[in-house]
Amino acid sequence: MTTIIEVDHVSKHFSGREILKDVSFAIEEGSITGLLGPNGAGKTTIIRLLNGVIDATSGTMKVMNFNPNKQGDSIRKRAGIVTESASLYHDMTAWDNLVFFSKIYNSYDSKRITHLLEQFEMIPHKDQLVGSFSTGMKKRIALAKALLHKPSLLFLDEPTNGLDPEGISEVIRYLRKVNQEDGVTILICSHVLHQLETICDSYLFLNKGRIIEKGTRNMLENKYLTEIKVLVETGLQPVDQQKYKGFQYKRIEAAKLEFSLSTKEEITPLLVAILSDSWVHNCEITNRSLEALYFKIRGEDGNE
């Protein structure tokens, strides 16, 4: 695969304070990557660096084979960005906002604007003032705005902030659609980890200005899940209150048992054993969430 973003030993100082420390990572073309970490970790600073808005103190970067320190304009012509605030004119309609920004991008095309409004299901609201929109509707128009010039790369800074669960689900669905149908590479910054569990191909974990871990979900699970907690809804009534056929467990509720396993490969033999004695209605790994992995990684980080 082609590398679209390459960051090599980048640091950034503001007023003598080190905001980013020796950050290195690469992002493949066509992927969706989550840049995850708490508020103040340096996520927005990385986005600004990659767009050429600010310069790195040290280190090198390439974005679509351009140097952000010297060729920021070339990057911004080929990339879209959605910040935490939608950056729209509230006293203009959705249509007029998109016309205005498309002319700024020197890419006015009424068919493209109509297509984006259709893609984000906003055609019925195109003549309404943006100021009258819900937060979710503003996010949709902000996404359409970022895609007006058909970018190859999309930067999203806290795109789900302020949204209710339905709005979050909609934004995630639209982003997946843009990635799959248009091949847009997406970098999403967020401090709300569970919202990105189903969309990202890989993750960068940022803490106190440092990349403390990176990889796909499977890579992270294989490295950090030294014990697998499996919750099984079953009618099983083991005689031994600590073990069932060699598997350690504890009863959570009348029909729910939590088993402690060494690897995911033990799940199938466990279920086969249970099914030979009783029924199974549900089985899930309870400690594999992105948030659980993040805190596990932070706990093993030497600077924590």
In angstroms, the CA 6 to CA 63 distance is 7
Tens of pLDDT, residue by residue over 185-196, are 999 999 888 888
- Does 151 lie in the same domain as 57? yes
pLDDT (0 to 100) of residue 86: 67
- Does 125 lie in the same domain as 100? yes
Domain end point (choices 175, 206, 221):
221
Residue 203 lies in a domain: yes
- Does 83 lie in the same domain as 213? yes
- Does 49 lie in the same domain as 17? yes
- Does 240 lie in the same domain as 216? no
pLDDT (0 to 100) of residue 19: 95
Residue 298 lies in a domain: no
pLDDT (0 to 100) of residue 73: 93
Question: The domain that contains 241 carries what CATH number?
Answer: 3.30.70
DSSP-based three-state secondary structure for 241: coil
Question: The domain that contains 62 carries what CATH number?
Answer: 3.40.50.300
Domain end point (choices 177, 201, 221):
221
Pair of tokens at residue 35: 């840049």
Domain end point (choices 221, 247, 276):
221
pLDDT (0 to 100) of residue 1: 74
In angstroms, the CA 25 to CA 203 distance is 10
How many domains are contained in the chain? 2
- Does 26 lie in the same domain as 89? yes
- Does 108 lie in the same domain as 53? yes
Residue recorded with tokens 């843009």: 178
Residues 6+ apart with CB under 8 A from 5: 25, 26, 27, 50, 61, 62, 63, 64, 153, 185, 187
Give the residue numbers spanning the domain of 276: 226-287
Helices 290-300 + 217-224 axis angle, to 10: 50
pLDDT (0 to 100) of residue 83: 83
Q: Which residues of the chain have pLDDT under 50?
A: 304
Global confidence as pTM: 0.86
Residue 71 lies in a domain: yes
The residue ranges of DSSP E strands in 125-271, in sequence order, are 153-157, 185-190, 202-207, 210-215, 228-234, 243-244, 247-253, 256-261
